[in-house]
Amino acid sequence: MSRSELSPDERAFLASRRVARLATADAHGKPHCVPVCFACLEGGIYIALDEKPKRVDARRLRRVRNIIENPHVALVADRYSEDWSDLGFVSVRGRASLVELGEPEHSRAVAALRERYPQYREMRIDLRPVIWIAVEAVSSWGDIAPEPREPLGALDLVRGRHSVRWYDGREVPKDALRRILEAGRWAPSPHGRQPWRFVVLTNPDRRRELADAMAGEWQRQLEMDEQPSEVMEVRLRRSRERLMLAPVVVILCLYLEGMDRYPDAARQEAETTMAVQSLGAAAENMLLVAYALGLDGGWMCAPLFCPDLVREVLDLDHALIPHALLTFGYAAVHPPRKSKLTVDQLVVLHD
């Protein structure tokens, strides 16, 4: 039975699909179907007009002409697998129209499409209308749950994980986030005292506040290094965007309250180093479990360079020392793998 609103699961499934099929028909009902990149927002589904060659007037595209003649459209996004128990789709029917430049919805749609598809950041989709589908009927079928990578063996997981810096805008399911945090909890730690605490940020306003504050501090530090202003501008913008595009940010804070105290500086320093080492283990546990769940993660060292500022912006207890910042989400771009030293290069003594 079809409904008129997308359920949270259906939204998540649509968000997890990079492509959907859009069916339109002309005034005589003659059908036309094309694959489309899309973004699903509260108000409906948005599709950019980026047809090549770029000089083609957007209004001459078949799909656009059809929509003008007949606004009834259908869109389907599906998952295919040779294991047919994994098959699933979400299908939507609705009324399509063009959102013109200058309308508030236009810039919102363009921003959402660019967030989801980095390719659009280079294209002038902002100079063309955007197709908007106001959803009228929804149906779904099969397995529309997110895709985990769990069947991978431990070493494949470790090898598969890599640092991701750009996410496609899909939300991280709450259960997956819980499991990522749980993974951190099980990291080895000195005396088993778990000298770390986690700050979990999903609220975009708070992430913006943090990103702005850290960017300001970083700018000050780059100025001290006398970096050229163009380089500085790009680096600051990218770092800010990284935080804003990641649906989840976890800041791992060192928490030394429960650690042993020594009268001499050397042993005290070793005690702190052990705590830092185990914070790294907690971070890697989280990154691996995120990867196993079909998510991706990235590591940013920024808080380490301005711990007081991070503590202040997030109103954290003074005993927490922000160290590592992990981002989690679904990769929009998988960076090329960097080559790693071989085992033989790493092992300096093996008797």
Ligand X SMILES: Cc1cc2nc3c(=O)[nH]c(=O)nc-3n(C[C@H](O)[C@H](O)[C@H](O)COP(=O)(O)O)c2cc1C
Q: Which residues bind ligand X (CB under 6 A)?
A: 162-163, 165, 299-302, 338
Closest CB 184 distance from ligand X, rounded Å = 15
Q: Nearer to ligand X by C-beta: 109 or 326? A: 326
Please, what is the minimum distance in Å from the beta carbon of residue 324 to ligand X? 6
Give the shortest CB-165-to-ligand X separation in angstroms. 6
Of 224 and 301, CB closest to ligand X: 301
CB nearer ligand X, residue 63 or residue 161: 161
Could you tell me the smallest distance in angstroms from the CB atom of residue 245 to ligand X?
13
Q: How far is the CB of 279 from ligand X (least distance, A)?
A: 9
Q: Which is nearer to ligand X, 126 or 299 (CB)?
A: 299
Nearer to ligand X, 119 or 163 (CB): 163
HEC per residue, the chain: CCECCCCHHHHHHHHHCCCEEEEEECCCCCEEEEEECEEEECCEEEEECCCCCCCCCHHHCHHHHHHHHCCEEEEEEEECCCCHHHCEEEEEEEEEEEECCCCHHHHHHHHHHHHHCHHHHCCCHHHCCEEEEEEEEEEEEECCCCCCCCCCCHHHHHHHCCECCEECCCCCCHHHHHHHHHHHHCCCCHHHCCCEEEEEECCHHHHHHHHHHHHHHHHHHHHHCCCCHHHHHHHHHHHHHHHHHCCEEEEEEEECCCCCCCCCHHHHHHHHHHHHHHHHHHHHHHHHHHHHCCCEEEEECHHHHCHHHHHHHHCCCCCEEEEEEEEEECEEECCCCCCCCCHHHHCCCCC
Which CB atom, from 137 or from 276, has the smaller least distance to ligand X? 276
Smallest separation, CB 223 to ligand X (Å): 19
